[in-house]
Amino acid sequence: MGAGGEGMSSTERTMTGVDELVAAGLLDSEAAQVLAEVAARYSVAVPASVAGLIAHPDDPIGRQFLPRAEELRLEPEERADPIGDGAHEVASGLIHRYPDRVLLKLTSVCPVYCRFCFRRASVGAGTQGLIDDAALDAAFAYLAEHTEVWEVIVTGGDPLAVSPRRLAALSQRLAALPHVKILRFHSRVPVLTPARVTPELIAALKASGKTVYVAVHANCARELTLDAREACALLVDHGVALVSQTVLLRGVNDNVEALSALMRAFVEMRIKPYYLHHGDLAPGTAHFRLSLAEGQELVRQLLGRLSGLCQPIYVVDIPGGHGKTPAGPVYLARNAQGWSIEDWRGNHHDYVDSARAEL
């Protein structure tokens, strides 16, 4: 795969400049100069399908995709590589953080740029686009040698923005690795640019013969339009399993009603809720982040309110490359009787654990 932006073209009009967003009535002209500075630092791309969902800049969708002056404010704890990809990069674009799975950064571009992106310092305009041939060869040489790798997670950028031809070539190379059983793609495409989900794209995803998952990223139920639902249904109906990922964001989904609506919508769409991410320490994203205590309380409220099918795993990515850890509330504590267990109403009950631990 050569460098470049093949696969990124689309007949859908995409606004990439502040002037275009002002002309469309999505941004205030008085703030244009400051927002142009933001856009020069962090890429902007708002396709027509996304722009049509924005009622005003401060609504849950506007906050996710329109540049804001707050992005120029950097906090001491923020870092360009907040989850420590670099600490585990074994070949260019290949991250081996956990024993049985690797992350392959196929492309550095997206059809739409989230303002809270944890890779915002390394994706977007001015980047190389697709992983180059030499890097891809090195990644596959590593995978061939490391038979403990059971799953390959393809990310970016957004891997489903790459052309079906390129995706099929990747899948076909993975088919030659018998120890790799699972192929997972992380993408915003099925929700935000659903027209890209075609039979050709699905055939390319499945060309490896592996079990294929797509982790669908959405943060509020209003993103799940009829077109998005049809695109996700097309994937499921053709044998692609879907799981969700959501980032907990202030002003977007920081209340139990919004999270409940989103998780129920996922389940109705045959998407299994998977990760609810605590906001990463990406530069210029402090205005999005909740405290861990706030996140735990929201997850606690979901427990009794929603079916078990709708419960995501609340996780925090430890800065420095140490991986994800569950961050949800704790419901068990030691007491004189053995354990105190809290139910979903907040009541505490004694539990006698008579089994002897064999350590």
The set of catalytic residues is: 97-98, 101, 110, 114, 117, 119, 280, 317, 324
CB of 300 closer than 8 Å to CB of 331: no
313 and 298 Cβ atoms separated by less than 8 Å: no
Nearest of 64, 62, 57, 48 to residue 227 by alpha carbon: 48
Measured in Å, how far apart are the chain's first and last C-alpha atoms?
50
Residue with tokens 């915002």: 120
Q: What share of the chain is helix, strand, coil (3-state, %, to 5)?
A: 35, 20, 45
Please name which of 200, 189, 249, 235 lies closest in space to residue 60, comparing C-alpha atoms.
249
Which pair of tokens denotes residue 57? 């800049």
Q: What are phi and psi of 88, to 5 degrees?
A: -125, 20
Q: Which of 157, 134, 166 is nearest to 85 (CA)?
A: 157
User: Could you give the CA distance from residue 149 to residue 178 in angstroms, rounded to a whole number?
Assistant: 10
